[in-house]
Structure 1
């Protein structure tokens, strides 16, 4: 019986981790090439690294700004849905104009007439 050390190769988490590692290594490779390109154009190496860090911070700030607006939009949507769900509909108890047992008039849901009309008048 042989024991292999690589028993979890087929799992999705393992493949996801390997993919993330490859993406990170690719990003670092491109970052080094950008620093090399900037140095070849006459920018000092420290300044090129600082420019990349400023770019990363700007992208992070933009992502956080966007995420905060999306979170605020989500909060407003949840509050609006909660208010719509819990609103008391006062329309059920309000009297309506219709034809009832005492003629045309203002009736509530219990068939009580609320207007002061004579049912025998035309």
Structure 2
């Protein structure tokens, strides 16, 4: 008999560690960038502010892109909904049945197939 394994949370633990490593890597790169800017003669506070401005610009660009993608998706959904919900008398479904002009394809009370000359009336 095979024993049933209980979930141990390994995936969540590994994912957390990967996110933590990525965050530490980014933090080290940020400190390196500030150190490089300070070495080039920029004050430390200005270098830190400059990095914050870059971060905010990237975040704003991502939000701007996400907004327009969401708007595009919304318009596509509304357009498809509008196309599906439009109805007119011409859109009435045709059906095969016996009608005033014999058996044929009728849309409402009008036969729409050409029929055969020997059809019964």
Long gaps (5+) in structure 2? 1-6, 93-99, 112-121
Q: Deviations over 1:26-84 (max 9, x none)?
A: 00000000000000000000000000000001001101110110110011011011112
Q: Displacement, 1:12?
A: 1.6
- TM-score, structure 1 normalization: 0.68
Q: C-alpha root-mean-square deviation of aligned residues, in Å?
A: 2.3
Instruction: Indicate yes or no: 2:50 matched with 1:55.
Output: no
Instruction: Indicate yes or no: 2:73 matched with 1:74.
Output: yes
CA distance in 2, matches of 1:35, 1:47: 9
Number of the residue aligned with 2:96: none
Long gaps (5+) in structure 1? 1-6, 94-99, 102-106, 113-122
Alignment partner of 2:110: what SS? coil
Instruction: Indicate yes or no: 2:52 matched with 1:43.
Output: no
CA distance in 2, matches of 1:75, 1:109: 36
CA distance in 2, matches of 1:92, 1:20: 55
CA distance in 2, matches of 1:64, 1:11: 33
CA distance in 1, matches of 2:18, 2:88: 54
After TM superposition, the structure 1 = structure 2 runs for residues 29-40 of structure 1, keeping only pairs within 5 Å, are: 29-40=28-39
- TM-score, structure 2 normalization: 0.68
What is the total number of aligned residue pairs between the two structures? 94
Number of the residue aligned with 1:15: 14
Q: 1:92–1:109: 8 Å Cα contact kept in structure 2?
A: no
Number of the residue aligned with 2:117: none
Runs of 4+ residues over 3 Å off in structure 1: none
